[in-house]
């Protein structure tokens, strides 16, 4: 299927063939009929992408700071890879569309194949022939719905949320500053509600369009003579009950102008992208004005449980969610209480989408709404897409399932370039990522179907998906008689672990988990120095906080930070002392969100060694992240952030310092591939992997038991 993409680095925009999207649980596959270009949001993205690197840096100072922080901590190589991944990626465009359902995912009951629907969401409702949409970002339409109008779904919901935040009553007045798409949609909704609407814009053409289509009761340009007095007269001398700012600008004029024209104790709602550093006097303070933000489509936006898992908010407690806002907007269209056909000033066939965006950027002629129309007679297939000229195979033939930031920065670049190593297929959730990764790292194809990357060509699978799918993909790979490398953790459920143990026993294939730290060059020197004596170990991790709504913290998707990351450090201590963990006790610092991500863990090992893991989310970012101390048979050693190793014994202490941090990712991938080439075995024994995974589960068990020691 075809999708419109742009590279952030070069600004190149192209419609390209990408794999058919994945149908996940709680999702539907939709064939687009129309999608709408947002001149504001998408236009600014396209303009930024076409700027120079310096121009991009000026646009995104916060991201520049992140690059500098990465450079300080991880060195130039990892920083370069991270930056280039962003710049070279195929970035999908679009977030508002309408079409018909052609597939229904597991657990979906409200949609059927053939339903007409309107869709929303950046990364979902793309400018593409086929899209995959979560149920709470999709609304069902009448069979006779006008799909071109319905495709304004996202913009309508955003405007609807701005209106709801204004909380106006029949007969009250509202001034809308900015008469672009959002402003005009908000005005239409307000007029349908019996509110007096006054529209303001710097563009005379936008004001005239609103007046001619009876969108506003009064329309004025911002620089019109006596504009404040005219608004005062139109509101019976009181001022506006509410002001909705739907403009996008760096100027403080909209927020200060809103203060001047609002009535005493009125409301100002920020719907567009503007600064809010208003002047306290003479208006905001003396009028006791209320400033409110409108968060995108409404309640549920940015909530993983709502948008990705499809868990709705109970209607009696949250009357208007983002989906219910969409439904309300579509009902206004269906009942013809609002008419928006005039907003579509331009329509392009999808094949000419690049021309549409050139119009947005150049502004060579006036426009408001731009619709892309799709060829609905075209049949989409799930065939894999060739991305390399060769189909040559080697002794080890690798396919990837999942290829996000970590895989692109640390796994894929480190696969050895060798005639004995073949690169077969790539499968990810998004077709754009699959296509770019397959091209960049010279895989033979990108795919939609799991069967394509688990066929006879592939004998080794790398799994780098979100944590909740690790266990299932490891099982499928083993059942297909493949070696498997899985980015940590191995799985999130003890039942999955038992199934994996059984499957590995039957397949007798190599299973490797991405415990890279044991492969660090400084780790090798440390292990050689401490020898095989029983030892005491301390591993302190200044992990930093992660918001509770991040997917990693979600127990079902990410497994939380114990299963998702602490397993790394259990493995490291297991490797250092050379024996398996047998007893665990753990206690977590109480926190309001019950995240269990600030904790102390005590581990006892078979050979008498003991280790303490201090994993802390409550520290300062200024401190180094990881620090290890080891004590054994009269010697001590410290390892600071995998950059500085100090060994203390007889005589003068020895110090080894690396120019850049090295956590062993390159060495790990090489060891795995070389192990398969040499004897078919992974460099970490399956027994160790199972023991470390069990120990991670036991950490959570001990926390629940109040720190009680439990057997692994």
* Model confidence pLDDT, tens digit, residues 334-385: 999 999 999 999 999 999 999 999 888 888 788 889 999 999 999 888 999 9
Residue 678 in this model has a pLDDT that exceeds 60:
yes
When mean pLDDT is compared across 54-68, 99-113, 126-140, 598-612, the lowest value belongs to: 54-68
Domain over 389-510 is classified CATH 3.90.850.10: no
Q: What is the mean pLDDT of the chain?
A: 93
pLDDT at 598: 96
For 542-568, what is each residue's pLDDT tens digit? Answer: 999 999 989 999 999 999 999 999 999
pLDDT at 187: 98
For residues 324 and 297, is the Cβ–Cβ distance under 8 A? Answer: no
For 655-671, what is each residue's pLDDT tens digit? Answer: 999 988 999 999 999 99
Task: Look up the pTM and report it.
Answer: 0.89
When mean pLDDT is compared across 51-55, 204-208, 294-298, 597-601, the lowest value belongs to: 51-55
Residue 54 in this model has a pLDDT that exceeds 70:
no
Residues 347 and 373: their CA atoms lie apart, in Å, by 7
Residue 392 in this model has a pLDDT that exceeds 70:
yes
Instruction: Indicate where the chain has its CATH 3.90.180.10 domain(s).
Output: 2-152+340-373
Residue 70 in this model has a pLDDT that exceeds 70:
no
pLDDT at 60: 61
Residues 645 and 675: their CA atoms lie apart, in Å, by 27
- H or E element: which one contains 357? helix 353-362
For residues 239 and 231, is the Cβ–Cβ distance under 8 A? Answer: yes
Residues 92 and 7: their CA atoms lie apart, in Å, by 9
Does the bond joining 288 to the residue before it have cis omega, within 30 degrees of 0?
no
Instruction: Indicate where the chain has its CATH 3.40.50.720 domain(s).
Output: 164-293, 389-510
Residues 94 and 38: their CA atoms lie apart, in Å, by 8
pLDDT band at 78 (very low <50, low <70, confident <90, very high): low
Q: What percent of the chain has pLDDT over 70?
A: 93
First to last CA, the chain: 49
pLDDT at 87: 62
Superfamily the domain 516-711 falls into: Dihydrodipicolinate Reductase; domain 2 (3.30.360.10)
pLDDT at 361: 85
Residue 409: helix, strand or coil by DSSP? Answer: helix
Q: What is the DSSP secondary structure assignment for residue 553, as one 8-state letter?
A: G
For range 205-234, the mean pLDDT: 96
Instruction: Decide which of 266 and 60 is more confident.
Output: 266
pLDDT at 607: 96
Residue 196 in this model has a pLDDT that exceeds 90:
yes
Residue 57: partners with Cβ closer than 8 Å, 6 or more residues away: 64
Instruction: Indicate where the chain has its CATH 3.30.360.10 domain(s).
Output: 516-711
In degrees and rounded to multiples of 5, residue 682 shows phi and psi of: -80, 155
For 615-638, what is each residue's pLDDT tens digit? Answer: 999 999 889 999 999 999 999 999
CATH number of the domain located at residue range(s) 164-293 in this protein? 3.40.50.720
Burial class, 429, CB count within 10 angstroms (exposed 0-12 / middle 13-18 / buried 19+): middle
Residues 503 and 237: their CA atoms lie apart, in Å, by 78
Q: Which CATH number fits domain 2-152+340-373: 3.40.50.150, 3.90.180.10, 3.10.20.340, 3.30.70.330?
A: 3.90.180.10
pLDDT at 360: 87
Residue 333 in this model has a pLDDT that exceeds 70:
yes
**CA distances for 442 relative to 82, 235, 236, 387, 391, angstroms:** 19, 66, 70, 7, 11
pLDDT at 7: 77
Give strand pairing partners of 648: 636
For 522-547, what is each residue's pLDDT tens digit? Answer: 999 999 999 988 999 999 999 999 99
Residue 64 in this model has a pLDDT that exceeds 60:
no
Residue 127: partners with Cβ closer than 8 Å, 6 or more residues away: 3, 4, 35, 37, 92, 93, 94, 97, 350, 353, 372
Residue 122: count other Cβ atoms within 10 Å of its Cβ.
17
Candidates 469, 476, 519; CA nearest to 491 is 469
pLDDT at 334: 97
Residue 246 in this model has a pLDDT that exceeds 90:
yes
Does the bond joining 410 to the residue before it have cis omega, within 30 degrees of 0?
no
Candidates 203, 668, 86, 598; CA nearest to 410 is 668
For residues 150 and 31, is the Cβ–Cβ distance under 8 A? Answer: no
pLDDT at 63: 63
pLDDT at 6: 87
């Amino acid at each position: 299927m075809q999708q419109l993409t742009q590279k952030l680095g070069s600004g190149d925009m192209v419609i390209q063939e990408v794999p058919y999207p994945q149908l996940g649980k709680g999702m539907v596959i939709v064939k687009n009929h129309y999608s709408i270009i947002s001149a504001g949001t998408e236009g600014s993205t396209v303009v930024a992408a076409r700027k120079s690197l310096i121009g991009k840096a000026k646009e995104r100072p916060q991201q520049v700071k992140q690059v500098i922080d990465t450079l300080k901590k991880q060195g130039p190589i990892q920083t370069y890879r991270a930056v280039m991944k962003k710049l070279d990626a195929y970035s999908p465009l679009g977030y508002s569309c309408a079409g018909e359902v052609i597939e229904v995912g597991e657990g979906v009951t409200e949609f059927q194949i053939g339903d007409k629907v309107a869709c929303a969401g950046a990364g979902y409702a793309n400018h593409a022939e086929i899209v995959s949409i979560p149920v709470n970002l999709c609304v069902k339409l009448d069979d006779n719905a006008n799909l071109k109008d319905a495709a304004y779904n996202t913009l309508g919901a955003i405007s609807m949320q701005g209106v709801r935040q204004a909380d106006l009553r029949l007969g009250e007045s509202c001034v809308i500053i900015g008469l672009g798409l959002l402003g005009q949609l908000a005005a239409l909704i307000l007029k349908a509600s019996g509110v007096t609407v006054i529209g303001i814009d710097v563009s005379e053409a936008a004001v005239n369009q609103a007046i001619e289509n009876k969108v506003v009761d009064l329309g004025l340009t911002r620089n019109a003579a006596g504009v404040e007095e005219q608004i005062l007269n139109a509101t019976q001398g009181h001022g506006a009950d509410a002001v909705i700012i739907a403009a996008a600008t760096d100027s403080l004029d909209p927020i200060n102008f809103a203060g001047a024209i609002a009535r005493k104790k009125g409301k100002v709602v920020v719907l567009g992208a503007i600064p809010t550093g208003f002047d306290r006097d003479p208006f905001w303070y003396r009028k006791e004005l209320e400033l409110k933000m409108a968060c995108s489509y409404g309640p549920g936006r940015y909530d993983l449980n709502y948008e990705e898992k499809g868990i709705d908010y109970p209607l009696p407690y949250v009357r208007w969610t983002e989906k219910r806002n969409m439904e309300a907007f579509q009902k206004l269209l269906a009942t013809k209480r609002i008419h928006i056909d005039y907003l579509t000033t331009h329509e392009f066939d999808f094949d000419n989408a690049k021309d549409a965006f050139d119009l947005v950027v150049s502004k060579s002629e006036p426009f408001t709404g731009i619709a892309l129309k799709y060829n609905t007679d075209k049949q989409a297939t799930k065939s894999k897409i060739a991305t390399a000229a060769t189909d040559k195979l080697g002794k080890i033939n690798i396919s990837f399932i999942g290829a996000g930031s970590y895989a692109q920065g640390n796994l894929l670049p480190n696969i050895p370039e060798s005639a004995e190593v073949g690169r077969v297929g790539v499968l990810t959730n998004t077709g754009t990522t699959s296509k770019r990764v397959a091209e960049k790292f010279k895989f033979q194809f990108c795919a939609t179907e799991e069967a394509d990357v688990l066929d006879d060509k592939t004998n080794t699978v790398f799994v780098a998906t979100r944590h909740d799918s690790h266990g299932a993909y490891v099982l499928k790979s083993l059942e297909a008689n493949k070696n498997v490398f899985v980015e940590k953790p191995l799985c999130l459920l003890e039942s999955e672990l038992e199934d994996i143990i059984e499957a590995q026993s039957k397949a007798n294939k190599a299973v490797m988990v991405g415990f890279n730290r044991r492969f660090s060059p400084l780790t090798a020197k440390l292990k050689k120095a401490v020898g095989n004596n029983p030892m005491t170990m301390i591993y302190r991790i200044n992990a930093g906080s992660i918001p509770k709504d991040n997917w990693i913290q979600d127990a079902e998707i990410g497994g939380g930070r114990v299963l998702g990351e602490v397993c790394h450090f259990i493995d490291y201590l297991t490797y250092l002392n050379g024996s398996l963990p047998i007893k665990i006790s753990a206690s977590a610092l109480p926190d309001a969100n019950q995240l269990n991500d600030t904790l102390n863990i005590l581990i006892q090992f078979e050979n008498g060694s003991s280790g303490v893991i201090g994993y802390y989310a409550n520290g300062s970012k200024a401190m180094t992240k990881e620090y290890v101390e080891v004590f054994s048979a009269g010697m001590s050693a410290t390892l600071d952030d995998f950059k500085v190793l100090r060994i203390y014994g007889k005589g003068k202490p020895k110090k080894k310092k690396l120019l850049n941090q090295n956590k062993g990712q390159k060495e790990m991938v090489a060891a795995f591939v070389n192990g398969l080439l040499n004897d078919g075995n992974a460099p970490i024994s399956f027994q160790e992997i199972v023991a470390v995974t069990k120990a991670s589960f036991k950490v959570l068990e001990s926390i629940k038991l109040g720190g009680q020691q439990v057997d692994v």
